[in-house]
Amino acid sequence: MASQDVKHRTRDEHEPNVGEMNNSSSSRVKRQKRTSMAKRGLRSLAIAVALPLSLTLLNITLFGSSQSYHALRKPFWFPPLWALHMTCLASSFIMGLSAWLVWAEGGFHKEPMAVALFLSQLALSLAWDPVVFTAGATRVGLVVCLALFGVLAGCSRMFRKVNPIAGDLVKLSLAWAGFLALVNLNLVYL
């Protein structure tokens, strides 16, 4: 009798009834929706990170090489030009990632000022290289750095309201903008 129960249970487990087939089909549909959403999320993440990175790389290529920076007598703590550019790229990556985190949670609809602050910081960070390296206007570059610092502080505050991790990521760029302002301040007086 026990062996018949085992056979019966085994047969029932392998032969799905109509309700199980509906559950199976609905779980397949749910899985397809999740996969589709994940693909859209990855595409939007790639765009959110690639756009600021591309703009920064283009900016560095067009305006970033400066013989005047190489020729300066700099204090020991001044970064080499390549390190300056790599950190600008890292900052762009971090800002793109943090903006995506805010966007993914609908934060640009909840806090419309966050978009304006993000775009402002992007414009200011892109403006610094041409102002300082191409035009040689270190005083204007200092103003740009200070404005960038203020905009990043506001961006961090707005992003933190929507996603605390995004707000904390902006702090890395905020630290970089502060250091860049110190470098720029010393460029004014060299």
Q: Is 15 helix (H, G, I), strand (E, B) or coil?
A: coil
Q: Is 135 helix (H, G, I), strand (E, B) or coil?
A: coil
| Mean pLDDT value across the chain | 86
Q: Are 173 and 149 in contact (CB under 8 A)?
A: no
What is the rounded average pLDDT of the residues 58-64?
89
- How does DSSP classify residue 1? -
Confidence bin at 117 (pLDDT 50/70/90)? very high
How long is the chain?
A: 190
Record the pTM. Answer: 0.79
Confidence bin at 26 (pLDDT 50/70/90)? confident
Q: Locate tokens 């992003």: which residue?
A: 159
End-to-end Cα separation, the chain, in angstroms = 97
Confidence bin at 140 (pLDDT 50/70/90)? very high
Task: Find the DSSP H helices in the chain.
Answer: 2-14, 18-63, 67-71, 81-104, 107-110, 112-129, 138-162, 164-189
**Could you count the other beta carbons within 10 Å of the beta carbon of residue 44?**
13
